[in-house]
Each structure stands twice: as C-alpha cells, then as structure tokens.
Structure 1
Amino acid sequence: MKNTETILAAAAEWRQRCLLKEGSLFSERALWTRTNFEELRVLFVKRPEADSGPSFLEKLEKQLRSGSPDAKCLWAEMTWVYLLIANRQSRKPANKRKLIVDIWNWSGRDFQDAHPLLDDTVLRAGVVHVGQRYNQGWMEFRFFIISMLSWFSLEPDMRSEYVDRPWEFASWLDSTEFAEGSMFRHAILFLLFPDEFESIISGKAKKKIVTYLHDSAGVGTGNMVYVDKAILAIRKRIQQEYEDGFHFYARPVSELWQPSQADVWFRRRFSDAERVWLMNVGAGDRDLWPAWLERGIVTIGWGELGDLGRSQQDIQNELKSRGRGEKPSQRAHFLFNFGNEMKVGDIVIAVKGKKRLLGWGEVEGDYRYDSDASWEFTHNRTVAWRPCEEPVSIPERRRGISSKRLTDFTPHKLWVRFAFWDMDRPGDTTLPIYTVEDAHEDLFFSRARLERLVTSLKNGKNLILQGPPGTGKTFIARRIAWCVIGYADDDPIEMVQFHQSYAYEDFVQGFRPTKTGGFDLKDGVFHRFCQRARKKPGTPHVFIIDEINRGNLSRIFGELLMLIEADKRSEKYGLALTYSDDRFHVPENVHILGMMNTADRSLALVDYALRRRFAFETLEPAYGTAEFEEYLERNGTNPDLIRRISERMGELNEKIRKDNELGRGFEIGHSYFVPGEGEETSDTWYEHVVDTQIEPLLREYWFDSPTDVEATVARLKGNGAT
C-alpha cells in the first residue's frame, strides 16, 4: 500500500527504542517505563472528570500540570505514535508536529529542532482516514496507558517473545482493560505486524468483512483475534487476483461487503436495467444452457401452456386444470414474470442448481410465444449472453438461493455483486464510493442536517443553499452532489455562475455567429448537460449554479422554469424551445443545486420566482459550535485563539443582526477562519484575516460610518471596544 513503508519504518523505531529498550523517540531519556505509565494512570485514567475544560487539550494540560517532566514528554511521544496512522486528510503534518511539540514544551525541556521522526515525509504518510472519535481520543488514550502499563509489567524476555509472535501479542493486547471497542488496538497491531493485520481501525468493519467475504459460513466474530485471522485468509484469497494489491475500502472489493455500494455499482454498470433475474437452467429435466448460448435466447419451459402474456391468475388456473397442484402460485408467478415483467435491458444471471454460475446476459427482445417450437422453447426471449469461460463455483455461504426456474433478484444487489465479482476478470478501477459519512468530515453542522440536505436534492430535484458570505456554500454543494451521485465523481457535475449578462442563449439554446459571418444554432450549457444525463439514466447528474440570484431567471430559464419542476420531469411535459421545434424535457436524473448569497440586496427580487420550484436551506456561521472549534483544535490552533475567534466574531454577528439596515443575512461566515492546506494559525494569521478580508466587508456594510468600522475592527483585534 502507498506510504506504508515510511510509517512502518518509523513504527519499527518505536518498537525497538521504546517497547523493547524502555527509551525515548525524541531524547536519550528512559521515558517508556512502568513508573511513568503508572504516573499517567493516576493523572489521567483515575481522574476522568477532573479539571474539565472546553477542549480535550486544555483539560489534558490541566491534568498533567502537576506531573513530572518525564510524564509530559512521554505523552508527547504517545501522541506521535497515536497519530502515525492518520493520513494527511485527517490531520495535517504541520498540525501533528505542532501538537506534539506543544505537549513536549509543557515539560519545560528543550526539544530537538527538525527531528527526523517529525519530518513531513513521516507525518504525512498515514494510511487511515480517522474520524472525529479517533481525533478526540480520550478513551483511546486511556486504553493506550493501561495496555502499556501492562506491557512494562511483563518480564523483558516475555516482551521480546511477544513482538516476534503476532497472534500471541494480539491475544495479550485483547486481554488488557479497555481493549474491547478500541480503535487504537487495531492501529497498534497494524503498525507492529502489517503482514498479519489490516490498516483498518474499525472492529465493526472488520466483522462485516468477515461476515460477507469469508468462504465458510458460521465464522465467529466474537473474538477479534479470530476475526483478524479470518481477514488474513480473505486477503490471501483475493490477493491471488490482484497482483498490484487491493484495499478493503476501495472498489471493487468494498462493494462486496457494503450493501449500499453494491446498489450504486449496479446502477452505474447497468443503467438501462430495471431488474436482475436469476435463471436456473438446472431446474428442469435437461441442461438447456448450450442451446441458449447457440440460439441467443432464454426459455422457461412449460410449452404445454398457452401464451403467457396474460394475468397471473389465468396462468395459475390453467396450471391447476392441468393437474399441476391445487395452488401452483409459485409456478404461476415466475411464468407470469417471464411473459410480462421481464423487460428489454434487464439482466439475467444463469445458474446451474445452487452451486454454479454459468454466465450472464442482457435481455434484447420482448416475450415471444412460438406454438410450433418444442415445449422447451415455446416461451422465449432474445438474450445477448456472456458466458463464463468455465462454470464458477458459488461459495457455500452464498448458496441459499432459490431453486425456482426464474427469480427476481433485484432486491439482492449484494449477492449480484458477488456473482459478478466471481464472473468478471479483475481490473475494475472505477471511483470509490462516497457516503454521507465521507461528506460530513470537516462540516460544521450535524450529520442529520446533512442527510436532510441530500434527501431534499435527491427527492425534490431542486435545492438552494442560501446564507451569508463565508458559510461554505460552495464547499458543501460539491459534497452534497457527490452524495447524490454516490461517488466523488465530477463527470456528472456541471457548474456555472450567473451574472447580470447571463442569458437564455448561454443557458438553453441560441444562435451564435460563425467565422463565415452567418449564425448557427448552438445548444447552451444546461441543454448539453441534459443530453449527457439522458445517455446515463442510471447515474444522477447535478447542475450547480453559483450566485443564482444574480441572474434574470425568467430571461435565463425561459420555458424551463416549468420543466425543472420535480413533477414535470418526463417526455409528456416536453415543450418546443424558443429557437427550435424539437420538444425538450429535463431528465429525471438531473438535479439542480443553486447557491445564493443573502448579503446580495437583489435577493428579494428573485425569491418569489424560485420559491415554488426549489427547496431552500439556510447555512449559518458556525462560530461557537463544537464542530468548528474541534476542527480548529485538530488543525493545531491554540485554544485561546479559538475562543478569541468565536467570541469576537460572535459579537460582531450579533451587532450585524441587530442593525436595521443589515440583519441576519449579512452576518460573516466562519470560512474566513478555516486555514488552508499547510497554513499555520496564529494571532498574526488571525489579524491578517481581519485586516484583509473582514475589514473591507465591514467598510462596505457601514460605508457611512467609518469611525464605527474602525472601532469594530479594533475590538476584533483585541485593542479596542465597540
């Protein structure tokens, strides 16, 4: 896996210097000792509620304040180990380094500048995207301390044996207090024994992988060591097909144990299919598979019955009259499905009994009743078959499938994904799945609210994010779009910005001058986008409009103002466009996501035109919220500066809200104080933002009160009062 060599080499130094020699990563002292961990147990584990503060780091500083310099230096090194596995998207290298050095400085001891273990090449080489729970870390550090206290209570010879015996070490680690449910437990095992343990820190995810991917049914998941051994067996099996390696969280393997991904995979691969059918060629007296391949058809048998293009009850009555049981409802059901429910474009998977996959195909023809054919071929459909080179054995745990001739398997997408995994050749390199959980990272409102935004755009088709400047509308919009699409894929996304000169001809269709002096009819950006979306009806497409309130919407949309309504997305509502006689409609899979700055004074002029056709969601500044402050803390911002930002900007926004000429829509958002990649936060950085971004905005707001602006800026910078 990319980057693992760097962090594993660093972890090997930790193993040698600290776990075996009781030394130190950043000094020549003996820090990793039972005595020092016992001190941390008293200071931290035994006082979980002591000196509670507004942040984990502030609370920690108070808890360690009475501790020895060794205890504080040890915690800094523990932090290095703890964050080693976190990738740069979770914790930036500069912020990791600052946190480690700041904690070390609590000891009052000098720190070696430019230490190689704190180099960017090490700190940015993490391989796991850790979430908020891992970043907060209180329970994880409790486990860290107790497990290390237990470790250094062992005899040195026993420790030397354990570090060379992965499974015995894991069993020992799981026997320590607080190991159950710990994410850091998994991180330790990967860092020390990468050949045996995965870079996955979620026990629930590991158990799910085993449940879905292990060949044998009934593998227990109660013991995490058994789970890890089972995952190793799964890896060895899958690795045979992927010489260049794979990851359980990357496609296509992720689609085999995450049902939601299997459904998205099906929509992307088979955008024209309404259903997927399981056809059992071994359910009758003879093997029809060779004949199906030769003729390019699929058949259902039961040739003595008449045309199946009738009601299920009629078919059932005929079966009963022919002595096929008193209540032959199941047979009537699959015969009815073959004649009436199966459609052109549907997918058929051919199986032999419950043990073998033979191939798959796409239905290309409608149902045909051929009364002159032999009974096996009387009822048939044309199918473009793609047979397996050799029949593929179905693993034991997936053999609980129907033995009926025909079964609708549309609800069982995960089984279908497994089937195609077995039938396809390796090499699926499509994009990784994108979920609400992914999108929620570094957003400053609840996951429930994000889910509401995604649902609004999915179901209502049209959504506008409105809010003051700096509330992250553009940042959030793309994440919402990816959630709707199901992948972090920009191909089904188009983005434009409206302005006063934007017109129907730019957006929908119009005549454009040619080099020869004439005019050609050209489709606009939205018209072309709808054409793209029609070619992939199974893939959601999202059209993002920035500054939607700056354009003349009636002039830009024209007749499309009706066609974009959620209940008008079909051909029957198609209209002739202004410049052509062709009837046009907006496809069902097109979603429109607009963004609106509430500080724009033209908002009231367009609000009524949009209200009926769009859902509106207001984004607000996040100053003072736990999510915003935790984000700044994770990125190395000093707690005093975090409070300063939240308090001063909160006061300013309250003043703006109470201003009769401004109001809530003119508040100033938090994005101004979200540091960029590699940007370190400090008082100087804060004052620079105030001088270059906040002050010019305030001068625009209160253009007739320069003295008031100066006093407000002075208050923001801490050297004046409002």
Structure 2
Amino acid sequence: MDAARPSLEEALSSFHRSSTSEAAAAVRQQRSAMLDRFPLDRWPSMPLERYALGQGKPQESFCWWMEWGTPALGSIRGGNASKHLIYKRKGSLGWYHDEKYRDEEEAWEQVRAAFVRAFELAKMGDWQAIDELGALEGGAALRCKALHVYFPEEILNVASREHLRHFLRLLGRPEAEDGNLRTVGLNRALLAALRERGRFDGWTTTEIGSFLYTWADPRESRMVVKIAPGEQAKFWEACLQGGYICVGWDEVGDLREYDSKESFRAAFSERFSSLYNGNKSKLTQKAKELWTLMELEPGDIVVANKGQSKVLAVGQVIEPGYELRPERPEFKHTVRVKWDTSYAKDIPSQPRWGLTTVDPIPPALYTTIISKQGGPPTTMPPPRVDDTFLELSAALEHKGQVILYGPPGTGKTYLARRFAVWWLLQHSGAADAHLVLADAERFRAEEGRLAAPRLAEQQPGSAPLTRLTFHPSYSYEDFIEGFRPAPTSTGTLSLKLEDGVFKRICRDAAAQPSRRFLVLVDEINRANLAKVFGELITLLEKDKRGLTITLPQSKESFAIPPNVYILGTMNTADRSIKLLDAALRRRFGFIECMPEPEVLQGTSVNGLALDVFLEELNRRIAANEGREKQIGHAYLLDGDRAIDDPEVFARRFRQDILPLLQEYCYDDYSRLAKYIGNKLVPDARTLNHEYLSKADDLIEALRLALSPTSQSGA
C-alpha cells in the first residue's frame, strides 16, 4: 500500500455514509428505469432490436442503457462496442458478432440464452459458473453490470477487472493474483472480503462502492483539458447556466452511436474533408479533439477558455458526461460540468489555444491555473499523471526491468528521468510527487537528492536512483565484479577483486527491503548485454528475485532483491530490439516511444507548420528507411515548448536533423532530395549551402518540399 494512502480503518473513520445519499437516489431511479424497460422475466423472449446498438432509436436498446443510461450503477464506458457482443455497425451494412455464429440471429439466440442462464445461476448462488458461459466470454464488464442491475446486493457496482484486483490487493487478498478468477468471481471475492471484516454490516453495495473509490481510486489521475465554448467564448453564458461545455462539428451526429474510435474517425474525415482541404493531419487532429469528449469521465477537469490567455472557469465533469443536445441550434456536442468561476484569470498567452477547440493541459500550466493567492485553497484534483508513467509503473511491477525504445529525439531519456523521480517519490510516501514534475527547479533538486549516495553510518551507501550510460566497452567487471589493478605498499600494481555498481546496489537494497532502488541505464543497447549481465540473466526474472547463485570470481552467494528495478533507454536508429539477445529480450518489458507531431501543433516558423513538417518528413522516412528511423519531436522543442524562432529552427535542422538524414542516405544525395527537396539538394553531389545558411530561404525550401501534396519522396 502507498504510504500516502490512508489505511482501510482510517478511511472508514472519516467516511460518512450520508454522503452517498444523492448517489443512492440516482441508483434507485436508474435501476427502476432499467427494470421497467427490461424486466427479468422478459429476457427469454427479448428481440434483438431491444438489445443491440446501432438500430433505429439507440436509446431504446438494453446496451445503450447499460453503457450510457445508468452511470450510477457502474461505468462500462470506453473501448469499442465489441464488449456488447452483438451490434449493428454504424455507417455500413452488416453486424458485428463472434465469427463462430452464422449470422446475427444465431448469435443473438446464443447470447440471450447465456444471459438467461446467468440470471438463473445467480438466483441459485452459483456465481463461479457464470464466468464460464462461453457465449458471454467477450462481454465481461457487461455481464458483471447486468448482474448488479438485477441482483444489486449480491454484486458490487465495479465491472473493471483491474479495479477489482486493485482493491483486493489493498486488502491483502490472494484472489488478486488468482489467474483463474474472472470478473464476476473477482467481484464476489471482493464483496466477501469486505463483509468478512464486519465493518460493512448494513451497508448497501452502492455505499460500499462509493467508499472504495473515495478511499483508493485506482485511476491514478484525472484528464485535464481546455475547451473553448465557441469563437471568443460566444456560448459561455449558456454553458455556465446549463452546467455543461459545448463544441461544434454537429454534422457527425451523436458520438455514442459509433462502435469505435476508428469508425468515428472515418466518418469525421469523410464529412469534413473539404473543410480542412483534405489535410489528413488536420482531420486526424480535429477528430481527436471531438472524440476527447467521449473519453472524459466524471471527475476529469475542464478549463473553459476565451482566446489564448483568458480562463473563464474550471470545472469537474459530472454524470452522465457526454450528451448530444439536439435542442441547441448549434454546438450540440456537450459534456456535463460543475463549474467554479473563482478560477477565472488571465494567464500567459498559449498560442496552441488559438488553433484548438479541445486541448490537453500540461501539468505546469494546470498548476498555474488552479493556484490561488490569498483566497480559499484549491478544491481541484492534482494534475494528470502521464499515461506512459502508469504503463511504465505497471511494467516494472510485472517484469522488474523495462526498456523505453524508439527513434532518436522522441524524449526517451527525458521521460525516463521524470518517471524515475515521480515513481521513487510516490513509493516513498510523497503525496505531491506529481507536483514536482510541474516545477523545473524542484524537479532538479529532487533528482539530485534521490541520486545522492547515502553517507550516514546507519545507512548503506547506494542512492535510490543510480544513473548509468552503457557503451561498447562496458563490461561484466564494471557491472557485477572483476579484478582491477590496485597499487601496493611497495609501489607496484596487483589485481584486486572489486564489486561492480550493480552488485553494490543489490547488496545495499537487500539491507533496506522497504526502500525501492531504480537503476536508470541510458543507451542500454550500446553494450553487449549478454556479457554485462552474465549469469544474472536468470535472476532478472521477477519470480527468481531473491534466489541466490554463486558468482564465479568471488565465489560469493548473490541475489537480486525484489526491490531493485532497471529502466533502460534504447535508440532504435542504432540497433533494433530484434537484434537483442533473445533470452534477455524475454526478461525485459518494452515500451515504445514514437514521434508525437501533435505536441508541435499550433506552432509555425515563417509559415512552416512544425507538426505538418515533422509528420510528412517521417512519412517519407518510414516509407524508405523504416519506422524505427523517424525523427523525434524533441528536436523541435525548447524545454516543453515548440521552437518558434526561425534562426533556432534553422540551427536545429542543420545540426541535428540533416546529419541524421545524411546518415540514413549514406551520402546518396539523390535519395536525400526525396526528403528535403531539390532546392536544398540541387544535384547528386552537393547541398545548397547558400539556402542552408539563411533561415528564411531554408524554411521556404522546406515548406515547398515538405508540403503533403509535394511529390518528393512519393
């Protein structure tokens, strides 16, 4: 359990059941609506049109009500419509269902019979058997929520398998790691574990569910976005009075009717292609902005803005989240928000805001927006933790060692350093680990403190964070142990056995089992990993941690403690992960970092849009050299901001990007011309240094050559 989280007993002592009264009223209303529309005794004869999405009036279907109409009974939002087992595809003929069925009618017969059987098993108390019903295999969350609707005191309103495991782990229950238990089994195990404690006697499952998420919400952070309510915020008063935020693109219709993000993007591109002149990058970005409304969950943060520097209010998303409001004359896509205008203020200009309707807010800016001087303290939740941090954290817990890999300039080292500080602080009990990343000076101070050796006599010497850089000469002797020349009292040299850095860390970590130690290795693939790790390859596996082997040189017993973790970075332009030793590759988790042109959106230099430039350049590189040799967005960033000075851009291009392209082309300038155009590469032997030396001429040449409609690189 995180030290910053209260214990179960502490949380219970501060939790008031009366705080759930409003939620309980919503539960009663929504369950009553469900039972009226879909009574249990009608299931054996329920027709497909009453069940499936995608037909006629979607709000009359069981699946629509389960995903959108009953948020108080537990959320199963997110992902695509396949979780409903059968649905009518929007915008195209045909149905989705398991391929083993001949058609939708056969699929429905089997799914309906399985639901009927599940309800019969629930009445008999045979919950385990419900998870074994083959026809419901792909609808774990749906069947769990359906059981809660009809048997509310026998099943908690928690339908996420990961959330259920999370709560069971906090209670110290072995069921959390039982791979045989599925969603219903895990739900029942959690309910039993809580009721065994005697502290929840008389509590409804609604009260228990509210308590669990108040105590230990498994969602590490909240999404934070800015949304402009129309040009110059012309719809703001309606939004403030109505308790929502609104955006346009009405022509695509209700977002809840699309079976996946992909089908929505296709429809959006088809409908708005002429508006954005067929620019695929722009269409993708704008579709992403609108779909963000579907991804916002209750508790997420919305900042309403006017122009590039004015915050109108900050609010939290409330149920039901996204809604289409057909009664509005325009800007019909809305999200319910509880607004707080006390956060209204002017902030430093944000150029991206002038080009985006919906845009993520980085932690540092969010911290600025919600900070209050001389007034009441902020009531808003902390900034969102980077999703990659959460994925990295989960991978480290699972594997013990992870490699961030990707093309040059994708911010692997930057990400690894920030993750290391956040992760170590979080696990040391710091309640504000996320805030450290929003303050550059504080981040540097914390990084230095975590990497400083422990010198106090009562503590071993290794720091919680150790940073290394591997290179071709890095060896087993450097990492584990080996003989080194050492002076003697007679002035000669002799060989002395010395511990390597990793051996020292493991020894110190074994003496401090409650502390986590992270070894951050830059350029991990530049060394011969099989030789560096040697016989430790066996001990790297998570289930082998703590087992001992005898080191061949010192003859000492050695083990890798479970509180030692390794995080490496790897440039795939130098060496593909396919070339790593296979045994080592199996023991590491891998997380890919790819170019993110969207972080450059809204910034241009002399008319060259940086996101379009990078996306088109990488399209050509990927087509000719492979996706692993693309150019990262970090080359066009200055800190967290995109560069906007033409001279700075020209220097970055000459000093960083052009040498990479030349390397990829092996000085074949005819190939190079396909990337950057004939103005900069006038013949097969040379570059046009006159253009390259002048920022304006260079940028104009790139703007013409890298236009998505240019034939270069075709």
TM-score range, shorter chain: 0.3 to 0.5
Instruction: Please give the TM-score of this superposition, normalised by the length of structure 1.
Output: 0.40
Instruction: Please give the TM-score of this superposition, normalised by the length of structure 2.
Output: 0.40
Higher-Rg structure is: 1
